[in-house]
Structures are given as structure tokens and as C-alpha cells.
Amino acid sequence: MSTVLDYRYLSPSALMPEGTASRLALATSGGTSPAGEEAHPYFFSAFVEHPSVVATALLAVARVARTRFYVPPNTLAAILRAADPVVTSTPQGLRFESFSACCGVYARLDVAREALDIHHCAPGVTNVDVNPPLRQALAGVQSHDQLLLGVGDEALQVSTGSARLIEEKVPLPGRWLKGFAETQYACAGMRLHHALDLAATRVFLQALPRQSATKAVMWAVPALRSLRLASQPAAGAVCVAGPERLRVLEPLLRFATGLRAYGPEVDAASLPVASAWVLDLPGGRFTVALSPEKSRGFSGEGGVLHGLAGDTVAEDADLIATLLSFEPRIDIPRLALASALTVARVGDALGVLASSGQVGFDLADTAYFHRPLPLARGALADMHPRLADAHRLVDAGAVLPGGGPGTYRVQSADLRYEVRLHEGDAPDRCTCPWFAKYRDTRGPCKHVLAARIFSRGKQE
């Protein structure tokens, strides 16, 4: 599946003079809008308190979307039109998100309401056109400039006898939707390990290598004045796979006030893991998440599948979706009370919504946020073939209880595999080749998923 969503722009984005100010008009391709409004709604209008910061950061988000950090061996990088950033408008501000062409780097710009003089704000989500002329114009924005930011089209443009409207079709890759799911899953399991001031941030980022081998994995550990890169993991270290990928933050260094490094808990025996880095900016912040290896995109990790194996999780997700309304911070205990579900079931439901691009996770706020992309129903199985295969195994009666608690036998084609399910932090185990190769680093195999689905069905 190469494309899940097809977007169309009715006009190009542009930076236009407007009196003594400049107006940044970001054309959208539709999105969520109240009944009766045009298909290309006008989401947002505000003067920007820090014009050069927002312009440079938006360029960085768009640059990530155009960059391929890894090219498979013996394969030429396909010449593809870069996907455009996804923007979410809420009463609390704006959020721009993108993935690299290889899907191994996630970038997000959050512009806080406090840094915006808002004229009009309507909740919405869509992608925005950041075209070459606009990128050139943004590069010239200075700190003393007055910048009016508009997201969406104020009016629907039409063709006339003297003018013709060209409607550009833009695909949002299916890998992006899977990447949104895997990124939020990975970030939800991270914690803050290091917080650097401006001086330490400059020392660390400017010392990063400009290139590294495909399998290069380094670990950020404390140094005298900052962080340094080590070749081996240790308690408190943060993984930096393909460390040159973190240099996407370099253009923002002149505005930065500090850097925070997030990752899961590791020790001396840990395998490579994802990491996230939050650069604090005047009026906002810029987040970069790195996949565990340059050759591994977030779209192929499969970690989110742990929360999708259950008979009621889809119905729970539908219920939770009706209770969300573009919250910049999703209050899980409140949702549990409103839905009469347990906190654990709400968490699994959010995993389903995240798997279709509906929610994300903000490390700085330690909370989920609502991002309702207009995904067609039924696309979830297409995006997660392992999950679909697991359901087929259960439906075919291929899963049977094993000889002890938590053990199951799964018949797959002509082979039978032994699965052992664990509760808590211990990983599930399977005797299949997938588990032998990847262990628990790329999510569960289809046999573990099938056993989970089967066991939960027996418990309900």
C-alpha cells in the first residue's frame, strides 16, 4: 500500500506583502470542518511573535520531509514528490509534523498560543503546501519582520474565462500513518534523561559527525560540560543511531534556549532503541525522534501491535474517538470516567487511534494529543498485516492452549510454534524464526498476537 490519503491543493502557499507586514498563507488540502463549510476551510490566522523562529522551524520540518537519510543497498532512491507537513490547529496553538522520506526521522514544531496574536482559530487538521517558492521566501524572514500566519484558504477559488485553477494531487504516504503510530508508542515509553542549557546544547550538536556507517549506533552519555557520544550503552544513556540525523536541529541553534534528551531505560546489554530530542525555542519547541537504526523506519517497527490484539479494542477506540475534540493534552483518567472503561482499556483504545494517525504523544507535556486525520475505515488491517494474519489464525482455529499457564500452540501452515505469554515487563516468547531474529525489538510476531487475541477472548 503506497498511499492511504490523497490530498488536493486549490492554490499554492505563498508569503505575500500586506501593508507593512508579510502574510504567510499556507494552503491546505481540506481536513476536518463543520458541516456546510467549504472543503478547504480557513483554520487559523495570527500574528507571530517570533517570525524568524517560526519561519526557520517550519523550513526544518519541511526539510525533514524532503530528506532520505538511508538508501537500501543496491537500490536507487526513488524520485518522489516530498510529502507535505501535517498541521493541527487547536485553541492552544499550532503543530506541524513530518517524517523523512525513509521514515526514520520524525520532526514536529509546536507553536504555543502565547506566542501568537490570534485573529481566528478553528480546530482542524490537514497537510499544508510548503513549495519551493515558499521555502525561498521563508529563508528571508528576519526577526524584525511582522508576520501574519494564515492556515487554510479564506475562500474557495474557481476557474473563470481568463484564469484556470490547477488542483494539485498530493499523496500522504501510508508509511507516514504507520510512523505516527509507532512514534507515539515509542515516545510514550520514554523518560527525560538529560537537560542541557544553551552552551551545552551548542557543544553537543556541533560535535555530531556529519556522516556515519549504516549500522552506526552511538549513545549519548554525560560529559564534563555537555554530552558525548559513546560506542556502548550504559545506564542513563540515550541512543543516537545515525547521529548525523540529529543535525537537522542545527539551523535552529541560534534561537535555542536548551535541549532535552528522552529515551527508554537502558543498560550495558541493551539493543538499539528509539530516542527523542526536544529543542526549546522562544514561543515553542521542536521535537526530533530517531528510529533505532538508520535502516529502520518507524513505519516498520510494529511495537504498537501489542495494544491492538483484543476483541473489544476496536469498539473501545470508536467510543473514545467520539469523546475527543482536538485536545492538546488527552486526559486519560477523565476519558476512563467518561467512557466507563478502565485506564488500561483507554490506553489500548488510544493505541488503535494512534495506529490510524488519530492521536500522538507529546514528551514535553507527557500526554497524548488529538490529531484526527481523515483515514478511511478498514485501512487499519492494510497497514498492519501481522495483525490481520493473527486474526486469520484465530478464526481458523489454529490457536490451542498449551501444557501450562500462559502457553499456547499455534499452527501456521505446516509448522507448529510454541508461544509463552508473560504479564508485566517480561517479553512474550515464540519458537518461530521471526522471534529468533528480532526478539521483541520490532513488536510481536503474528503467532504471539494470535495467542494474545485468543487468550483475551477466553477471558471475556
pLDDT per position as a tens digit, 134-189: 888 888 888 888 888 888 765 433 333 334 334 455 566 667 777 787 788 788 88
What domain range is 389 assigned to? 385-460
Q: Is residue 233 part of a domain?
A: yes
Q: How many beta carbons lie within 10 A of that of residue 98, not counting itself?
A: 26
Residue 368 lies in a domain: no
Same-domain status, 69 and 199: no
Average pLDDT over residues 32-50: 67
Whether the predicted pLDDT of 32 surpasses 70: no
Instruction: Tell me what the pLDDT averaged over the chain comes to.
Output: 81
Are 28 and 153 in contact by the 8 Å Cβ rule? The answer is yes
Q: Which helix (H) or strand (E) holds 65?
A: helix 51-66
User: Residue 369: pLDDT above 60?
Assistant: yes
The pLDDT value given to residue 190:
93
135 lies in the same domain as 252 = no
pLDDT of residue 268 exceeding 80, the answer is yes
Exposed e or buried b per residue across 282-316, where buried means at least 16 C-beta atoms within 10 angstroms of its C-beta: bbbbbbbbbbbbbbbbbbbbbbbbbbbbbeebeeb
Q: Is the pLDDT of residue 53 over 80?
A: yes
Q: Of the ranges 3-12, 239-248, 267-276, 373-382, which one carries the lowest mean pLDDT score?
A: 373-382
239 and 217 co-located in one domain: yes
Judge whether 348 lies within some domain.
no
Q: What is the pLDDT of residue 317?
A: 82
Is 53 a domain residue? yes
More confident residue, 374 or 328: 328
Beta pairing partners, 268: none
Same domain, 159 and 25: yes
Q: What is the pLDDT of residue 267?
A: 92
- Let me know whether 241 and 268 are in one domain: yes
The verdict on residue 425 lying in a domain is yes
Question: Any idea what the CATH number is for the domain that residue 137 is in?
Answer: 3.10.150.10
356 pLDDT exceeds 70?
no
Is a pLDDT exceeding 70 seen at residue 396?
yes
Residues 112 and 208 in one domain: no
Instruction: Please tell me the total count of domains within the chain.
Output: 3
The answer to whether position 38 is within a domain reads yes
| H-only helix segments in 285-414 | 313-323, 332-339, 343-355, 379-383, 385-395
Is 84 part of a structural domain of the chain? yes
- Residue 122 has phi, psi (to 5 degrees) of -125, 130
Are both 40 and 159 inside the same structural domain? yes
Residue that terminates a domain, selected from 277, 297, 317: 297
pLDDT at 41 exceeding the cut of 90: no
pLDDT of residue 14: 82
Residue that terminates a domain, selected from 243, 278, 297: 297
Chain segment 279-313, per-residue pLDDT in tens: 999 999 999 999 998 888 886 555 556 656 555 67
Q: Which of 172, 197, 214 is the last residue of a domain?
A: 172
The grid coordinates of residue 58 equal 517550519
Same domain, 9 and 146: yes
Mean pLDDT of 442-446: 82
One domain, residues 234 and 149:
no
Q: Would 267 be classed as within a structural domain?
A: yes
Q: What is the pLDDT of residues 87-130, one digit of tens each?
A: 888 878 899 999 998 889 999 999 999 999 988 888 878 788 88
